[in-house]
Amino acid sequence: MKVVKAHGIKAPNSAILAENIIKNSEDDEFILMLSKGSDNGLERVAKKYGFTFEVENSEKEVVVRLTKAEVKELDVTGETCPGPIMLVGDKLRSMVIGERLKVASKSSEAVEDIAVAIPGMGGKVLDQGTENGKDYVVIERIEKKPTSTAAVDRDKVLVVQSNGTGNAERAYATFIFAKAALSMGKEVTIFLLMDGVSIARRGNAKTVKHPSFDRLDQVMAETIQKGAQMYVCELSANFRGIKQTDLVEGAKLAGAATYITLLSDPSYAVVNF
């Protein structure tokens, strides 16, 4: 892929230059950064040479992408967490700004995990879907913006649960705190890991009951219904032979990348049970 900054060159010269760049290069993908308005005539050039033409306008410039190549594909099927994210991370580091990669896997959790983590890794998600029985996500390498150290509103709560049904009080607290946070207008994410994953296995939570509270499965269902997002650590689930199909409705297997991304997000307050 060739990236050329050619600011200040007005149309029609920008199109002439683009054509000459194509002629002089063996690349099958070009990114041209031009001054606003200088993309006039480039679509014709793209068509002439059989490139797909994309334009992205920003405040300062216009970025034209000419692509002929099929987006490179990385299949992470069969890789268990954290394999997929490690492979994608390695690949992403070797990509130039603007380069794209399609990551596919038979495991929708692995793809979801990547999609969640990519924005914090110097990439952006362009597209996500299912194709030929595999889930995929198309990512683009972007300039990683330095995060500001300014204070952020901590308007999200991450409840981490690692004790499971073996500790009824902590299990109840997980959902009772989550419900309280939801009612306070916070966005809540519950991450079950270690013994915590036992709660999400269908049938387990209904064995937990305290005289003062509803059965745990009912409390959990209410919490999810109120909008809490519940992730189940893939590694811990594997340790216990638990699959996505064994989980209660609303619980999703997620990898280490999702967990680390959530933890790294300064807008989350983290509670551990």
Nearest distance, CB of residue 127 and another protein, angstroms? 27
Neighbours of 75 (CB within 10 A): 15
Candidates 4-12, 64-72, 122-130, 174-182; binding stretch for another protein (CB under 8 A): 4-12
Candidates 22-30, 63-71, 74-82, 179-187; binding stretch for another protein (CB under 8 A): 22-30
Site residues for another protein, 235-264, by CB under 8 A, read: 239-240, 242
Q: Say if CB 233 and CB 113 are below 8 A apart.
A: no
Which of 6, 125, 142, 173 contacts another protein by CB under 8 A? 6
- List CB contacts of 114: < 8 A, sequence separation 6 or more: 76, 84, 85, 88, 103, 137, 139, 257
In angstroms, rounded to a whole number, what is the distance separating the alpha carbons of residues 196 and 257? 18
In angstroms, rounded to a whole number, what is the distance separating the alpha carbons of residues 266 and 273? 20
The contact mask relative to another protein for 180-199 (x = CB under 8 A, - = no) is --------------xx-xx-
Nearest distance, CB of residue 83 and another protein, angstroms? 23
Return the H-helix or E-strand segment holding 216.
helix 216-225
Q: How far is CA 11 from CA 15, 32, 39, 51, 54, in A?
A: 6, 13, 7, 19, 17
Comparing CB distances to another protein, the nearer of 166 and 227 is 166
Comparing CB distances to another protein, the nearer of 105 and 204 is 204
**Using the rule CB under 8 A, is 35 a contact of another protein?**
yes
Q: How many helices (H) and strands (E) does the chain have?
A: 9, 13
Which of 105, 165, 174, 189 contacts another protein by CB under 8 A? 165
Site residues for another protein, 76-95, by CB under 8 A, read: none
The contact mask relative to another protein for 107-136 (x = CB under 8 A, - = no) is ------------------------------
Q: To 5 degrees, how large is the angle CA 120–CA 98–CA 45?
A: 155
Comparing CB distances to another protein, the nearer of 2 and 226 is 2
The helix/strand/coil state of 224 is: helix
The residues of the shown chain that bind another protein, judged by CB under 8 A, are 2-9, 13-14, 16-17, 19-21, 23-25, 35, 162-169, 194-195, 197-198, 201, 203-204, 207-211, 239-240, 242
